[in-house]
Structure 1
Amino acid sequence: MIVPAHTIRAKTIITEADLVKRQKSFSGALDDLSEIIGKETRVALYAGRPIRASDLRPAAIIERNQIVKLSYTAGSLSITADARALDRAAPGETIKVMNRSSRTTLFALVLPDGTLTVE
């Protein structure tokens, strides 16, 4: 099983230097480095304690209050606008955003390039 070598704060990207392999086994604990390295912690992880999949998430590329590009496409109609992110998010997640000009709040999908799309 893989455990933290030291306390890792929430919202930290995990690197190989943060981890230690132990011989013990724990039900639900992750034991593959590729499932852990490069992920972001949802909660604080403590040295020597098992790491569960629910403790991690993909690394966020959108920060709360960040100004982002928002797009909507329907057929040949394409609309783009600036929006303010109301939460942190990783690619593939849906977050709440506020259109800066109309102040309308809506949900948008985060794309890998950091733009958001409304469906």
Structure 2
Amino acid sequence: MLLLLAGGRAVAQEITPPADIEAAALAALGLEGTASEARVDQALRLAACSTPLAASATGPRTVQVACNDAPGWRIYVPVRVSRQAQVAVLTRPVAAGEAITAADVAVRQRGIGAASPGDWVDPEQVVGQTATRALAPGAALAGGDLAEGRLLQRGDPVVLVSREGGIEVRMPGRSLGRAAPGDTVAVENTGSRRIVRGRLVGDGVVEVMR
């Protein structure tokens, strides 16, 4: 607490403990019970608040903590985010376009930083999916690392599908790039030599975009 002089004698002024400010900041980001750390100067001396501290996130790693008394106070608290989650981890190197087998995957507890657990692949849904890029052993698998179905490689033959007015036309083509299912890719119509862009909608099937 602070000591102020009033009428020649010392008067104690209550302060808000830095730990209370830290707790409010972590709660605003939903990080209670994690290894995350709110960084508040332990020498900080702010007046005690007669109402609960108000805290609101101003960014993924910053929180405004305020006392709404009159005159009150407000400060910005930086937060070091540290979360843990059960994630799927590769046990061997996997090349782009290679299918993932059960023997390739283990489940490990890992720190995932500021990401949420939802950004990572459900370990139960990894097997049978295709790597969209080369992946190293020990890497935690994120959503963009895998796709369902075969990865299309440059030079692969494809079927071009064009739909208009209820009419569907299929033509042979050749991929000019690599694509995971759902991605767009440039394709050469091997009959007309025309280059078009389309979306990979199935195994070797590209729907022309209009």
* Bin of the TM-score, shorter chain as denominator length: 0.7 to 0.9
My pick for the range that moved more, 104-113 or 44-53, is: 44-53
User: Deviations 1:5-39 (Å, cap 9, x if unpaired)?
Assistant: 22223332111110112234434473621342222
- Contact 1:39-1:58 at 8 Å conserved across structures: yes
**Identity, % of aligned positions:** 29
User: Deviations 1:85-105 (Å, cap 9, x if unpaired)?
Assistant: 112333332211111122111
Find out whether 1:10 has 2:96 as its counterpart: yes
Unaligned runs of 5+ in 1: none
Q: CA separation in 1, counterparts of 2:168 and 2:194?
A: 18
Give the TM-score of the pair, scaled to structure 1.
Answer: 0.74
Q: CA separation in 2, counterparts of 1:31 and 1:94?
A: 22
Q: CA separation in 1, counterparts of 2:200 and 2:126?
A: 22
Q: 2:162 aligns with which of 72, 80, 91?
A: 72
**Secondary structure at the residue paired with 2:109?**
coil
Q: CA separation in 2, counterparts of 1:18 and 1:85?
A: 29
Q: 1:21 to 1:83 in 2, by over 3 A?
A: same
Give the TM-score of the pair, scaled to structure 2.
Answer: 0.47
Structure with the higher fraction of residues in strand conformation = 2
Cα RMSD for the two superposed structures: 2.6
User: Deviations 1:22-61 (Å, cap 9, x if unpaired)?
Assistant: 2344344736213422222233333333222233333335
Q: 1:31 to 1:90 in 2, by over 3 A?
A: closer
Find out whether 1:55 has 2:145 as its counterpart: yes
What is the 5 A alignment of 1:81-92? Answer: 81-92=171-182
Partner of 1:115: 205
**Secondary structure at the residue paired with 2:92?**
coil
My pick for the range that moved more, 74-83 or 13-22, is: 74-83
Q: Comparing both chains, which one has the higher relative contact order based on Cα–Cα distances under 8 Å and sequence gaps of 6 or more?
A: 1
Find out whether 1:45 has 2:45 as its counterpart: no
Unaligned runs of 5+ in 2: 1-86
Q: 1:104 to 1:19 in 2, by over 3 A?
A: same
Q: CA separation in 1, counterparts of 2:170 and 2:177?
A: 20
- Contact 2:100-2:129 at 8 Å conserved across structures: yes
My pick for the range that moved more, 96-105 or 7-16, is: 7-16
